[in-house]
């Protein structure tokens, strides 16, 4: 299968290029970057040195139509919606790594991202989370890959919401994320002397992933879910740890919660339940999943104030973006879901 990437020099696009280059049933035939056009991609993505002779091209539809069967768009938020209608008209299937088609409510999109040029496609776009929408992904023409921090919260909460175990109006998500989540372009906030040795609260309220989390959790239970989302920038390059506080509707024990997680994820190859009685890493920790498409979920039950502390760890650039996009590609193509993305992380890291 011939695949291409529009926007291959950013962190999400370059991670995707690294994965697809080694995918046994895929040929990466096209990659674009206006900034690096004409350069070998290994000059920008050093891990691909001696692994490919591909060069960056301009994002031109004639080239894309000629070289690709499926195209990934890894461009900044509020950009892909201007190009995707034309790509679909070429007969291509599109897997979009931006936020432009994740939300189904145009008012919500306008609130968090601005005006949208092709909202008519909202109904056709499938939210690219295989654990929730595997059957719809199989025949989709447009996939909207979930946001990394939204994914972390959804994976932690979905089993509890599905079993109606918690108050759906009182959920607190505390997300801690590495610097690669801010993208490849440097800003004052991502400058190393500012970012290093810091745990910086940067979006305590009004985070744009809130709408995405509420939308998907509400779809699971058929009722409105309210989430308070707060984000912190921490001294990591990659990885997210979500710590989520929820409150049970009735008296609950650990066994009931464990059964909810195991039931919801019993067939999922990339979701690992981690609640160990011994060892250094008894609960999810980003260190264990860096560079992989795995998600670790776990919890603790706090009887002192009657709360559930759910935890989720994932790599924001793999399961949080490019790896999940590849998993969606595998589903569309009829490949085994783990094809090209089943590697585990290295320890220690």
What is the average pLDDT value for the chain, to the nearest integer? 94
Q: Are residues 63 and 98 in the same domain?
A: yes
What is the tens place of the pLDDT at every residue in 166-180? 999 999 999 998 776
Are 155 and 173 spatial neighbours (Cβ–Cβ below 8 Å)?
no
Our answer to whether residue 221 is catalytic in this structure is: no
220 and 75 in a common domain: no
Say if residue 136's pLDDT is above 90.
yes
Size (the chain), residues: 349
**Same structural domain for residues 116 and 153?**
no
81 within domain boundaries: yes
Alpha-carbon radius of gyration of the chain:
20
Quickly state the pLDDT bin for 182 (edges 50, 70, 90).
low
Give me the CATH number covering residue 69. Answer: 3.40.50.720
User: What pTM value is reported for the model?
Assistant: 0.95
Please say which residue of 62, 91, 124 terminates a domain.
124
The residue from 148, 152, 312, 328 that is catalytic is 148
198-254 per-position pLDDT tens digit: 888 888 998 999 999 999 999 999 999 999 999 998 988 789 999 999 999 999 999
- Would you give the distance in Å from CA 68 to the centre of its chain? 23
The answer to whether residue 323 is domain-embedded is no
Residue 186 has pLDDT above 70, yes or no: no
Give yes or no: residues 36 and 164 share one domain: no
* Predicted pLDDT at 274: 96
Residue 324 reports pLDDT greater than 90 = yes
pLDDT at 184: 57
Q: What is the dihedral of CA 161, 164, 168, 171, to 10 degrees?
A: -60
Instruction: Quote the tokens at residue 286.
Output: 């980003």
Whether residue 298 lies inside any domain: the answer is yes
Tell me the per-residue pLDDT of 60-72, one tens digit each, with 9 for 90 and over. 999 999 999 999 9
The DSSP code sequence of 49-92 is TTT---B-B---HHHHHHH-SEEEE---TTTGGGTHHHHHHTT-
Amino acid 329: pLDDT: 98
Same domain, 218 and 308: yes
Q: In which domain, by residue range, is 307 found? A: 148-314
């Amino acid at each position: 299968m011939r695949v291409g990437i529009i926007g291959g020099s950013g962190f999400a696009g370059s991670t995707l290029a690294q994965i697809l280059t080694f995918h046994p049933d895929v040929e990466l035939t096209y990659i674009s970057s206006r900034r690096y056009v004409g350069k070998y991609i290994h000059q920008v993505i050093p891990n691909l040195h001696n692994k490919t002779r591909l060069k960056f091209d301009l994002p031109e539809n004639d080239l894309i139509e000629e070289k690709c069967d499926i195209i990934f768009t890894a461009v900044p938020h509020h950009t892909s919606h201007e190009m995707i209608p034309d790509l679909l008209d070429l007969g291509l299937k599109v897997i979009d790594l931006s936020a432009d088609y994740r939300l189904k409510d145009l008012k919500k999109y306008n609130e968090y991202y601005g005006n949208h040029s092709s909202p008519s496609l909202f109904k056709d776009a499938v939210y690219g989370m295989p654990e929730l929408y595997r059957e719809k992904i199989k025949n989709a023409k447009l996939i909207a890959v979930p946001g990394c921090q939204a994914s972390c919260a959804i994976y932690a909460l979905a089993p509890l919401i599905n079993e109606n175990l918690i108050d759906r109006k009182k959920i607190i998500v505390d997300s801690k994320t590495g610097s690669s989540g801010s993208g490849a372009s440097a800003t004052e906030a991502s400058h190393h002397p500012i970012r290093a040795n810091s745990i910086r609260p940067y979006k305590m309220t009004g985070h744009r992933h809130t709408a995405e989390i509420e939308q998907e959790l509400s779809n699971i239970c058929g009722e409105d879910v309210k989430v308070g989302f707060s984000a912190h920038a921490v001294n990591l390059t990659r990885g997210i740890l979500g710590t989520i506080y929820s409150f049970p509707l009735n008296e609950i024990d650990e066994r009931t919660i464990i059964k909810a997680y195991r039931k919801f994820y019993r067939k999922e190859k990339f979701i690992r339940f981690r609640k160990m009685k011994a060892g250094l890493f008894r609960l999810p920790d980003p260190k264990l999943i860096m560079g992989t498409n795995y998600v670790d979920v776990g919890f603790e039950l706090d009887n002192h104030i009657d709360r559930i502390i759910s935890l989720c760890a994932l790599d924001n650039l793999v399961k949080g973006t490019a790896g999940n996009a590849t998993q969606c590609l595998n589903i569309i193509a009829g490949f085994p879901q783990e094809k090209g993305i089943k590697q585990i992380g290295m320890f220690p890291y």
